[in-house]
Structure 1
Amino acid sequence: MSFMFRSVPRIVCEAGGIAKTGTLMKELGAIRITVVCDPGIVKLGYADKVQQSLEAEGIAVQIFPDVQADPPQSIVQQAIDGAKDWKADGVIGLGGGSSLDSAKLVALLASSDQTIEGIYGIDKATGDRLPLIQIPTTAGTGSEVTWVSVITDNNNVKQVVYTPQLMPDIALLDAELTYGLPQKVTAATGLDAMVHAIEGYTSRTRKNPIADGMAVTALSLLGKNLMKVIENPGDKEARSAMLQGSLIAGMAFANASVAAIHGLAYPLGARFHIPHGHANALVMAQVIRFNLPTAKKLYAELAPCLIEGVDFAPEEEAAEAFVRRIEEMVLASGLETRLRDLGVTEDFLPEMAEEVFGKIYRLIESNPRDMTAKDIEAIYRSVY
């Protein structure tokens, strides 16, 4: 087996660790920082905490507070232009996956002549990026430890940038930033992280033993704690476990790939602005059940991560129990489970299926079972 495994150079995991942002950035040698976040993060006061920590170390700060979900290319470009005008020499991503993905591109392009369009795809970027610290405020995307950025282009199509330069210098995990997450955000991001672990473990294209071990560890942390934080949002120990599980799942999928669940979720975010984790949750159980005939052994191996204290003798029994547990968790999450309830129109289902199969086929290739455009449309219709 030949494979390459990349990881973030440093991970700092500490409740209240946001107060160390200034010290950490000072170690990276940057003195003019752009903080990339969304309006909600500003309202919660987290941007102020980062700014205070940076300014205490003599670091000048620019706040870009306008990130949107499924970040539009135009908004990311505004952040890049602002950082260039500010002459930023370092970047901090603060927030959920949209802010973290945007911050990566700001760090990469604020000191470059390349365009966003010019780096869509794999290894299209040249040169170095600015120093980058990523601070997640949700336990879901794992973007703080990946070299991937996903944004929505000017034609409402999801575009992905894969390049090693996007890997941040430091991932800072502060569980206190997740304590006040709304229930639906907690559920959607937690299920998203579970999908990262499951798809990383079952990937056909870049599956490897290091990512496998991380996927199992991540899914165990996530599977045993997601319902705890949904039912008891103040469970600090479970919140910390979720944040760690999300990061580890991010390391797994970044080195093994995600697959069809993500592929089917992308148009739902780009066209109908369904949050990414919720979009994954809408189709995850159906895609996993579709994969069951070919992924039975792998799902059986993952069953103990979600179901404790049960000795499954036949492989079929373990795999079926795994799928049923996923179905139960999605239903118990409190999220809407029907596309029609989220503004998706039935006329778009065939078009979205063709888009996934034609433009996002790389994720279908990673899926453990072959899938046609008709199969994709059938899954959409099953949750319509």
Structure 2
Amino acid sequence: MRTVLISGGGIAGPVLAHRLRHHGFEPTVVERAPGPRAGGQAVDVRGVALDVVERMGLLDRASRVRTRMRGMSVLAPDGTEVHRSTESTFSSGRLDGADMELLREDLVRMVHERTRADIEYLFGDGITGLEEDASGVHVRFAHAAPRTFDLVVGADGLHSTVRRLAFGPEERFTHHLGSYLSVFAADNFLALDDWQVWLRDGDMGFGIMPVRDNTELRIAFGFESAPLAPELRTGDALRRLVVDRLQTLEWEGARLADAARKAPDFYCDAMAQIRMDQWSRGRVTLLGDAGYCPSPLSGQGTSLALVGAHVLAHCLAQASGDHHRGYARYEERMRPFVTLNQALATENPGGPASEESVTRAKNAISLDG
């Protein structure tokens, strides 16, 4: 069991490829985007996930590009400050802790640069079919010629193609958490200086942070909603919906709506979790958001991806060619960790989980257990 196809070139997939190569496997990563994806919000790397980054030789580099917030303000709907903190922020927790926050695109780029020399990447392509028999998994691609791999791993996110092909429709496993989140970049029209602002207005709210030496903003706008009808979940329809809602805000609504309308990196999706009784079927398994998305509300999606990649590679390496045993051990070790971290998203609806819960969840596994 040496050739492994990994679908998804974000964070989980390339980290798994790195760890598999370390153990002597031959991984290939296929990614629909034409290259490493840019854009996205700031992400947290916490607890044991920091050890994964360190083992890849990237901890010092990640530390150099981490966010350097001085604090945050919480605003009333009219923009009046009602609370401020120089000890913690909603996005990253305590500012004096060992955990780090950095832009997702920075982490994606450094992981890709760490792996591109000895990992085969198929950018601009995707899986269209999987057929398994005793010899392996026969994979059809949108563009590349069909190939056979010993194992296939879906690390392709909340809307995983591998999960759909191997396990069935997404609706079986998606648990909607009652809201949507949009993320987009803009010029720093608020002149924020290493300082976040957070505001809630009825069933809507946002967090805004400056990045890139305070030259840009990352805006995360959320709104409560039941699952939207399919025709409202297209990119253009979601952008129009977000723009319309932003325009109703009392404070800076017009400028925020204009930024969302123009943003080239506009993103919006449901806040949802993936909950499955089993992450593996035959020679196929799932990793990160594809198998156990905790939603951005948990703050732990990236850490679960990093830790899951390391644990899966370690379990396969210890299984002496028996992927059934490797997958079973992967699930046995990861499930308690996933359960605790998914619970962070629902512990305090409308706000962050307690510091005690985050501390317990982020350290609730040993990498080499």
TM-score range, shorter chain: under 0.3
| More strand as a share of residues | 2
Which TM-score applies when normalising by structure 1? 0.22
| More helix as a share of residues | 1
Which TM-score applies when normalising by structure 2? 0.23
